[in-house]
Amino acid sequence: MRPRTPMGVCTPVGFEVSKASGALPDSREARAGSQGVQSPGADLHKATGAGLAKQGACGKADSNWIGGKMRRNLPWICASALLVVGLAAGSEPLAASPSDTLLVFLRGANLARVRHIPSFAALHFSDSRVFGKVAAVDTHLLRTAAEHLEVVEEVPAGKPLYWARAAGPGQPLPEGVPVRVLVRSDGELLVQAEPSAAAELASAGFQLELVERYPKPLPPETAPHFWIPVAYDTLVQRIADEVSAVTLRQIVARLQAFQTRYTYSDSIISAGKWLFDQFRSFGYEEVYFDSFYVDGRPHRNVIAIKRGLIYPDSVIMLGGHYDSIVLGTGANPSVWAPGADDNASGTAAALEAAKILAEHRFEATIQFACWDAEEIGLVGSTSYAQKLAQRKRPLSFYMNFDMIGNLDRNDPEWDVTIFTDERARPYAEFIAEVARLYTPLVPYIPGNSGGSDHRPFQLLGYPALYVQEGDFSPHWHRPTDTVENMNFEYMRDVVRTGVAAAIHLAGLADGFGDVPYVKYLSHKFDDDPLGLSAGNGNGYADAGERLEIQVQVKNYGPRPGRQLYARLETQDPFARILVDSVSIPDVNGGEAAQIASPFVAEIRPDAPNGHEIDFRLVVGDAFGHRWTSHFGATVQMPELAFSRQAVRERQGNGDEEVDAGEEWAILVEVQNHGLRPTGYLTGILRSLAPTILVLDSTASFDPVPVGGRGSNSAEYFIVRVSPAAARGEIVPLELRLRESGGFYEAKVEFFLAVGQGAVLFVEDDGTANFSALYAAALNLSGIPFRHWDTAHEGPVPADTLAKYRRVVWYVGTEYGNSLFRAGTATLENYLAHGGRLFLSGPAAIFVLRTKPLFSQYLRISYVNYNTGLHRVTTEGSNEVLGEMAFWLAKDGPNKQGMPTEIEVSAPAFPILYYDRRTYEGAGDIRAHGIAAAAVADSGYRAVYFAFGWEGIEGDEERRAALVRILNWLQGDLAGVSEQVADVPIVFQLEPNYPNPFNPQTAIRFTLPERSWVKLELFDSRGRVVRVLLEGERSSGRHVVTWDGRDELGNSLPSGVYFCALRAGGRQAVRKLVLVR
């Protein structure tokens, strides 16, 4: 185990099996062999038992047809094991690369683009860093999918690869250890080494993860939209309270008594045998060693299984590693490595949970795992996860425990940390809620980390997370990591959380026996406009529909079910049940039956897209038996947004510019970012300004698939520009789209630019690839442009520049841009002949500061390459940007890591300054703090941003800044300036900043007209937690601060929240992440 930092720039992940072998028992092989592999994007319609869904085998969930669309009724724990593993049973590791295949490392990768490169196979990934293999002919595709591409030297297949991170900055590799460094990235290394050399690196303090050469599925583009219901249960409390601090101390002390559990020591074998015997002593019959090899020597994970009675192929797993290590001068892990907190504590959690749960029966399977060789690269868990994926074994969820016994005596808060990726976030939020219900623990969910045995499962697509003490132990990997330095009362609460979570997830089935046992089996919705339902009949649960819900149940018990009834309940604020009680025919043991008549439920029209409605089904009989299940419905709507526009001149002067008095045809393309396709659409266009008259306002759109695009290509809209329209005016247009016979309507806003000639847009940022942001802003504004990518087309020729009155040129942080390679003379000549230039990116001034482009034309000099500030403001008003101010991204693909300071000399003038009055402080300002400048001199105009325009937070703010700059550049250069048309204000809810946040965040929104406004906050279950604003507000920009508290002033827990803005018939939603 290694220190847990949230997964990001500095957290290594990835693995490779070293001669992994060994097999799971044949009984498991046969039982799991036919299981299918599900897709992470599958619809979650869940069947649950005792608070969590369990519906048959993962690959054998019953299906039903809804309006011609098949949906699977998957269990909670089964549905969340939705994998894209990419491995066939019996597949072999990838061999050494042939000559036409390259090993590559990507930094700043756009995973959506990488995913669509057919020949690319990911071997390791973490956030936007990816290591993998690709066909040499496809490397040009990777250059447009990542900020940085590095071809890695080919390596022999027989020697393992590791991702290594030093314990401290600047720590060198130990001398004499045979290690080959392949990649260096942000203080981390990709190395090739024999396992024995890797062990020496681990002993020297390096944190290692084995990098397997098997393909791994990249994470899904969107996180799962579901939550796991949990309510307090006195029986669960009673069972969880059986966890004993005394017993936990005894287990940890016994493991410590082995002196060392170092992977290369003999005592690790004895420790594994002791764990095996303990599981057997609890009454478990399915206990086995899962073998793998390190340096040709066998090592063993210990696995125990409690088979589920109803859903044996729905598997949840609890575990932790049992090996140990010590570091430091004079330390010898082969002699003394007590590893009490790291990680006898996690092993003790698995043992104590197994002991307590052995006395009970469950609907789903619970598995317990103790891993070997974690400290030398997560080798044991990696081997097991790989075999699980190869053989397509079911695993619904894995909860890992690592270092759960330390508590700072000076910290009154009993906090616990839950590390998770987005795939397992619903489980993290569930476990956090379990901790709050059953213990005094205060849970935190800070993000992910790659430092423990959950990570191999995450990499292969399984939902997995790990639980760790809130106060990291100062005795980590030290000889002092002993029983005496642990707090077992605190540890008891962590283990109680795990036990309670396992009971809720697996479903207590102590009542199973010589009686009926009637549970949910499947369901289907009827959303047609007939009978009690009232919908569009498309088979999706649309907001605003009334649904008939037909449910099928099964009697899993041996005795017939007689005099049965069913009741449907929900606490969801976006749903209401209109018919909640029905009868059920008698059903014999092992048979299924359908309820006599359907339930009826209504979904509110304002239900958010993707919202998961939880239904609780209670089945009972006249003899006092009760059986509870859960299933869900996902609200699935389209989400149409502007994609691009095209205009065609019908009556005018033929200069291809939209001029006053002319008539134009407009084609609008929209894209569907929603969860279901649209039906046929009718579009109605209207102008929001008197300078544009719409002559033909109606057009039809064909159905738009999810992720696809559609347009009015068969019927163009027709508009006429008023003779009084000002040159440079950006006119807002509104397109209203209504689905035929459906419940969906959308409003799309875009603009038409008057008197705007084409712009040359030069992409000169190497492989950073922010061109989509520039193109989107220009397209939305109706400004025509020609895109020139210097990475593919080379330097821009002088005759090409001369064709365009305005040029937008961005270099980002690319030091090797074409201006540096080919020189700036062509661009200087362009300005000398009256050109107009917008240049953006700190690398330009940093590497070209001595060129005449800056000293003679832009009249700008370099001051400081990194102010550390991310808020820029005009500090008053200026003719270019007015009174604009905005934040620059600190995280994400467009983050600004080099906000550079410049100085100006006349006739140049500042147009933006770094704001030293924010929470960031004064920053490293060495002169006047100028961030951007403009110049109008001798027939040319130019604007320079000493940061990347693409880093401006908020699509609308970015677009507005670009439009104002282009309008100013187009102004009269002879001294009589044309009026720069202002940028129309549009309805927008901007991303909150900061995000994630603690303790507060700013929420900004803009209104195009005075409106009645309601700004609400919802938790992940759709419950309103705070109304931040309700009342009339003027047009313009507004800011509201949220302090992470509810209406009563109570601090809300860490988690995902949603901010919903409603004003003037419009609605927008943003996701906020609170981290305590």
Determine the average pLDDT of the residues in 676-695: 95
How far is it, in rounded angstroms, from Cα 1021 to Cα 865? 45
Helix, strand, or coil (residue 844)? helix
How far is it, in rounded angstroms, from Cα 1053 to Cα 398? 23
Alpha helices in 918-987 (DSSP H): 955-969
Confidence band for 223, pLDDT divided at 50, 70 and 90:
low
Q: What are the C-alpha distances in Å from 220 to residues 238, 427, 708?
A: 39, 17, 18
Give the β-pairing of 1001-1007 and 988-989: antiparallel
H/E segment holding residue 336: none
Is the pLDDT assigned to residue 945 strictly greater than 50? yes
Confidence band for 770, pLDDT divided at 50, 70 and 90:
confident
225: alpha, beta or left? (left if phi > 0; alpha if psi -120 to 50): beta
Longest dimension (CA), the chain: 96
Residues 965-1007 have pLDDT tens digits of 999 998 743 222 233 445 556 788 887 777 778 888 888 888 8
Token code pair at residue 297: 């020597």
What proportion of the chain, given as a percentage, has pLDDT over 90?
A: 58
Q: What integer pLDDT is reported at residue 102 of this predicted model?
A: 87
Q: Where in the sequence of the chain do the CATH 3.40.630.10 domains occur? A: 1-27+86-96+155-510
How far is it, in rounded angstroms, from Cα 366 to Cα 504? 11
Residues 5-18 have pLDDT tens digits of 333 322 222 222 22
Residues 792-824 have pLDDT tens digits of 889 999 999 999 999 999 998 777 788 888 999
DSSP 74: E
- Residue 654 makes CB contacts below 8 A (sequence gap 6+) with none
Greater confidence (450 vs 563) lies with 563
Q: Where in the sequence of the chain do the CATH 2.60.40.4070 domains occur? A: 988-1074
Greater confidence (1051 vs 303) lies with 303
Helix, strand, or coil (residue 816)? coil
How far is it, in rounded angstroms, from Cα 1067 to Cα 1060? 7
22: alpha, beta or left? (left if phi > 0; alpha if psi -120 to 50): left
Determine the average pLDDT of the residues in 168-172: 73
SS (H, E, C) 674-721: CCCCCCCEEEEEEECCCCEEEEECEEEECCCCCCCEEECCCCCEEEEE
First CA to last CA across the chain, in angstroms?
24
Length of the chain: 1076
Is the pLDDT assigned to residue 693 strictly greater than 80? yes
Q: What integer pLDDT is reported at residue 329 of this predicted model?
A: 66
Q: What integer pLDDT is reported at residue 360 of this predicted model?
A: 97
Give the orientation angle of helix 488-506 with respect to helix 425-438, to 10 degrees. Answer: 120
Asked if residue 1039 lies in contact with residue 1002, where contact means CB atoms within 8 angstroms, the answer is yes
Q: What integer pLDDT is reported at residue 208 of this predicted model?
A: 85
Greater confidence (1001 vs 91) lies with 1001
Confidence band for 149, pLDDT divided at 50, 70 and 90:
confident
- Residue 902 makes CB contacts below 8 A (sequence gap 6+) with 845, 860, 861, 862, 863, 930, 931, 932, 933, 944, 946
Residue tagged 């064709």 (tokens): 803
- Residue 306 makes CB contacts below 8 A (sequence gap 6+) with 284, 286, 354, 357, 358, 362, 365, 366, 367, 368
Q: What integer pLDDT is reported at residue 85 of this predicted model?
A: 29
Token code pair at residue 43: 């619809």
Determine the average pLDDT of the residues in 141-148: 76
Determine the average pLDDT of the residues in 213-222: 78
Q: What integer pLDDT is reported at residue 1022 of this predicted model?
A: 75
Q: Where in the sequence of the chain do the CATH 2.60.40.10 domains occur? A: 518-634, 638-755
In single-letter form, the type of residue at position 406 comes to N
Q: What integer pLDDT is reported at residue 996 of this predicted model?
A: 78
CATH code for residues 756-984: 3.40.50.880
Q: Where in the sequence of the chain do the CATH 3.40.50.880 domains occur? A: 756-984
The CATH architecture annotation of domain 1-27+86-96+155-510 reads: 3-Layer(aba) Sandwich (3.40)
pLDDT averaged over every residue in the chain:
85
Confidence band for 221, pLDDT divided at 50, 70 and 90:
low
How far is it, in rounded angstroms, from Cα 533 to Cα 544? 11
Is the pLDDT assigned to residue 638 strictly greater than 90? yes
How far is it, in rounded angstroms, from Cα 208 to Cα 212? 13
DSSP 102: E
CATH code for residues 988-1074: 2.60.40.4070
What proportion of the chain, given as a percentage, has pLDDT over 70?
A: 88
Q: Which of 184-198, 474-488, 655-669, 793-807 has the weakest average pLDDT? A: 184-198
| Torsion over CA: 367, 372, 374, 375 (sign) | positive
Determine the average pLDDT of the residues in 606-627: 92
Asked if residue 519 lies in contact with residue 554, where contact means CB atoms within 8 angstroms, the answer is yes
Q: What integer pLDDT is reported at residue 742 of this predicted model?
A: 74
Is the pLDDT assigned to residue 67 strictly greater than 80? no
Determine the average pLDDT of the residues in 220-228: 65
Of 706, 382, 320, the C-alpha closest to 540 is 706
Is the pLDDT assigned to residue 128 strictly greater than 70? yes
Residue 523: CB atoms within 10 A of its CB come to 28
Confidence band for 44, pLDDT divided at 50, 70 and 90:
very low
* Phi, psi at 807, each rounded to 5°: -130, 130
Residues 248-265 have pLDDT tens digits of 999 999 999 999 999 999
Q: What are the C-alpha distances in Å from 626 to residues 516, 566, 617?
A: 10, 10, 10
In single-letter form, the type of residue at position 567 comes to R
Q: What integer pLDDT is reported at residue 232 of this predicted model?
A: 94
Determine the average pLDDT of the residues in 399-428: 91
How far is it, in rounded angstroms, from Cα 959 to Cα 810? 15
Asked if residue 913 lies in contact with residue 904, where contact means CB atoms within 8 angstroms, the answer is no
Greater confidence (1021 vs 512) lies with 512
How far is it, in rounded angstroms, from Cα 633 to Cα 599? 14
Residues 701-757 have pLDDT tens digits of 999 999 899 999 999 999 999 999 988 888 999 999 999 877 899 999 999 999 888
CATH topology of domain 518-634: Immunoglobulin-like (2.60.40)
Greater confidence (38 vs 347) lies with 347
Greater confidence (1034 vs 161) lies with 161
Determine the average pLDDT of the residues in 1033-1042: 84
Asked if residue 126 lies in contact with residue 450, where contact means CB atoms within 8 angstroms, the answer is yes
| Torsion over CA: 723, 728, 729, 733 (sign) | positive
Q: What integer pLDDT is reported at residue 4 of this predicted model?
A: 42
CATH topology of domain 638-755: Immunoglobulin-like (2.60.40)
How far is it, in rounded angstroms, from Cα 7 to Cα 417? 13
Asked if residue 746 lies in contact with residue 638, where contact means CB atoms within 8 angstroms, the answer is yes
Q: What integer pLDDT is reported at residue 68 of this predicted model?
A: 26
Is the pLDDT assigned to residue 76 strictly greater than 80? no
How far is it, in rounded angstroms, from Cα 731 to Cα 722? 11
Strand segments (E) across 110-205: 121-126, 129-135, 146-152, 161-165, 180-185, 188-192
Determine the average pLDDT of the residues in 209-236: 81
Angle at 471 between CA 465 and CA 475, to 5 degrees: 105
How far is it, in rounded angstroms, from Cα 142 to Cα 117? 8
Residues 538-588 have pLDDT tens digits of 999 999 999 999 999 999 999 999 999 999 999 999 999 999 999 999 999
Q: What are the C-alpha distances in Å from 376 to residues 60, 195, 371, 453, 588?
A: 38, 8, 12, 12, 54
* Rg from Cα positions in the chain: 31
How far is it, in rounded angstroms, from Cα 918 to Cα 394? 50
- Residue 608 makes CB contacts below 8 A (sequence gap 6+) with 574, 635, 1018, 1022, 1058, 1060, 1069
Q: What integer pLDDT is reported at residue 70 of this predicted model?
A: 25
Q: Which residues pair with 760 in a beta bridge?
A: 786, 807
Q: What are the C-alpha distances in Å from 66 to residues 206, 310, 590, 965?
A: 54, 26, 26, 52
Of 632, 620, 621, 541, the C-alpha closest to 74 is 632
| Torsion over CA: 257, 259, 261, 266 (sign) | negative
Q: What integer pLDDT is reported at residue 224 of this predicted model?
A: 56
Is the pLDDT assigned to residue 369 strictly greater than 90? yes
